[in-house]
Amino acid sequence: MTDDIDPDSGTDEVVLSARDVVKTYGGTRALKGVNFDIHRGKVTTLFGENGAGKSTLMKILSGVEQPTAGEIVLHGETVSFNSTVDARDRGISIIHQELSLAPNLSVRDNVFMGREIRTGTGIDFTEEARQTRELMERLEEEISPSTLVADLRLGQQQIVEIARALSVNARILIMDEPTSALSASEVEVLFKVIEDLKRHGVSIVYISHHLEEALQITDYAVVLRDGNITATAEAKDIDLEWIVRRMVGEHFSLGEVPTGYEFGAPALSIEGVSVADVENPQRSVVDGLSLEVRAREIVCIYGLMGAGRTELLEAVAGRVPMTSGRVGLNGKDVSRLSIAERIRAGLCLVPEDRQRDGLVQTMSVGMNLTLASLQSFVKGLFLSRGGEQERVERSIDDVRVKTEGGAAAIGSLSGGNQQKVVIGKMLATDPQVILLDEPSRGIDVGAKAEVFRLLAERAEQGIAVVFSTSEVGECLSIAHRIVVMRRGRISAEFGPDISKEEIMAASGEAVVV
């Protein structure tokens, strides 16, 4: 760990700079002459929409990629990083937006992957386990070093990713969406760790689409838009409105509750559904829950991490078994149908983890869009390529995916556009009910608004929409009804004219006045 510094000392030492950095991919200029400074013992937060170039800039600063033009200056010296190992050896570490863990390996093996602790007789697994336990204690997470990463929930995997970055004792730590899968209590712990790192002189670059959250720890704010730095300021001089205005323009909202039409008949009926805890089958993570959603209605399910939101939606979609209860679709019992059969019946789910469960990374944008509806293009023994291509083009237009075309690699899209592909894939099945688990996870405020507008449009066209969120502000965007979950049960139901504080109180979340 580096030396302690006085947070009130006024030090403004720049430790790492990007100077006139340009990055091109083919004919696309992702970065257009960016100048960016990182200060010792401070948090510099980089704000911007998906596709603005944030992750590209961070990849260059951490050695993942090299700039097309411009230079990187570290402690006054021009440097060139040929790999992440080069950057790590110079004290720079990065927590990537998309998890880069090996799910078939243990937590310990992931933390020390590529830099194992060796002795004369081999790897010192005991010492690695000891250090991993210390990291988990520091992050206040009860995760055994021997646990397989595949057995951890998404938030815990994010903690392992953070632990791995902390384990190298970096002097410059880049955090790209570190809290996207964390609960409120886990975010609080991470922020305490960040403050401790700052006291020890560690410089942090922080990227987050949770704007209010990011403001809590920011010292310097930088806004990147279309590959250009458009604004820079100290935290004391800015607020949430300042950030949003410079990111997306003067007039902006996440969306409005659709009005001017009546709901249809009940489309989804959830009756007494219970789901057992995987780790403790005697405990129910969803406990006898009942809920009815009508056609053209938008219902938001809000709750803290562990409230049972994900388990409920996955049980309704057929991804996890129910221990009791019934799921009805337009009056028909679909409880015993497979996932594919429920999709064909008109019930589909957009999962929380788009990388693992929503997309096939080796497939193109078009192939991902038609993956769930492929059977509709089969004519006898053959696949109608013309029909498939027509659907791809229509889906790209319908969900407004920014892409060079259906043949483009899915990995070439920003996080927000990847999320729109996942939603478009399920909408291509012509659902009557669409479930979405944290549909805005890891996407910027502009893309979030586009997703919500898309859902509002589909509701007006007759689809029943159910989405879950752990962001209380999203509850008040487009939902006709807000259902609050707590410990596997519904603790309250509200209409759209409700305050954030009342929603939070019903979830058991502490409200700071």
Q: Is the pLDDT of residue 446 over 80?
A: no
* Closest to 74 measured CA to CA, from 176, 170, 207: 170
372 vs 481: CA distance, rounded Å? 29
- Residue 497's domain comprises 262-346+432-513
Express each pLDDT in 197-218 by its tens digit: 898 899 999 998 778 888 999 9
Band of pLDDT at residue 511, cut at 50, 70 and 90: very low
Percent of the chain with pLDDT over 90: 46
Provide DSSP, 118-177: EETTEE-HHHHHHHHHHHHHHTT----TTSBGGGS-HHHHHHHHHHHHHTTT-SEEEEES
Residues 111 and 146 in one domain: yes
Band of pLDDT at residue 412, cut at 50, 70 and 90: confident
Residues 229 and 203 in one domain: yes
Residues 338 and 198 in one domain: no
Q: Is residue 4 part of a domain?
A: no
* Closest to 201 measured CA to CA, from 175, 178, 169: 169
Provide DSSP, 182-206: --HHHHHHHHHHHHHHHHTT-EEEE
Q: Is residue 55 part of a domain?
A: yes
Residues 305 and 396 in one domain: no
Residues 395 and 342 in one domain: no
Residues 194 and 338 in one domain: no
3-state secondary structure 25-50: ECCEEEEEEEEEEEECCCEEEEECCC
Residues 367 and 479 in one domain: no
Express each pLDDT in 299-358 by its tens digit: 999 987 778 999 999 999 999 999 999 999 999 999 999 999 999 999 999 988 777 777
Residues 308 and 411 in one domain: no
Q: From 377, 404, 430, give the residue that closes a domain.
A: 430
What was the pLDDT predicted at 7?
45
Q: Is residue 7 part of a domain?
A: no
Express each pLDDT in 43-88 by its tens digit: 999 998 767 888 889 999 999 899 999 999 999 999 999 998 899 8
* Closest to 423 measured CA to CA, from 406, 405, 407, 440: 440
* CATH (domain of 25): 3.40.50.300
Residues 43 and 162 in one domain: yes
Residues 220 and 79 in one domain: yes
Q: Is residue 228 part of a domain?
A: yes
Q: Is the pLDDT of residue 435 over 90?
A: yes
Reported as half-sphere exposure (CB side, CA atoms, 13 A), residue 397 has a value of 6
165 and 94 Cβ atoms separated by less than 8 Å: yes
Q: Is residue 353 part of a domain?
A: no
Residues 89 and 230 in one domain: yes
CB-count burial class (<10 Å; 0-12, 13-18, 19+) for 81: buried
Residues 385 and 328 in one domain: no
Average pLDDT along the chain: 87
Q: Is residue 135 part of a domain?
A: yes
What was the pLDDT predicted at 252?
61
Question: Alpha helices of 318-441 — where are they, by DSSP H?
Answer: 339-345, 365-369, 385-398, 415-427
Q: Is residue 473 part of a domain?
A: yes
What was the pLDDT predicted at 417?
84
Q: From 199, 226, 248, give the residue that closes a domain.
A: 248
289 and 272 Cβ atoms separated by less than 8 Å: yes
- Which of 27-31, 129-133, 196-200, 253-257 has the largest mean confidence? 129-133
Question: Alpha helices of 318-404 — where are they, by DSSP H?
Answer: 339-345, 365-369, 385-398
Q: Is residue 423 part of a domain?
A: yes
Query: In total, how many domains does the chain have?
Result: 3
Q: Is the pLDDT of residue 512 over 50?
A: no
Question: What predicted TM-score, i.e. pTM, was given to this entire model?
Answer: 0.63
Band of pLDDT at residue 375, cut at 50, 70 and 90: confident
Q: How many helices (H) and strands (E) does the chain have?
A: 16, 24
Q: From 398, 430, 462, give the residue that closes a domain.
A: 430
